[in-house]
Structure 1
């Protein structure tokens, strides 16, 4: 369970990227509109993953600042 909590976002991003790439390549080769669904679904997944990454990046910056403040106050971890 810990693996999913730490790497789950990365796995979902990889799956979204693969769905987007599969849909784009399949649409170019076969030119059927069913593949466009996979491309659209993957693009939505990638957008969500990007937004989540940006939000988590902000959280990581806040955590780093909190640790620096604690070290400055003498609470070494």
Structure 2
């Protein structure tokens, strides 16, 4: 898979995961991820681990990707990676 297609796929998965928190992610010039809240405020995340922190700050909700119920219904089964 071409790196741009892979990056878009990762963004689609992140957006599915973070939809419940009311934030979404967009590519930031191929170098980082911009995390936006519902009113347009955003923070730049350089790494995957930064995304969770930025999502928490913008949504004012706890974002714990290791919580057992975090994935519940977020990602269609055909997009899950085994």
TM-score with structure 2 length normalisation? Answer: 0.28
TM-score, normalising length: structure 1: 0.29
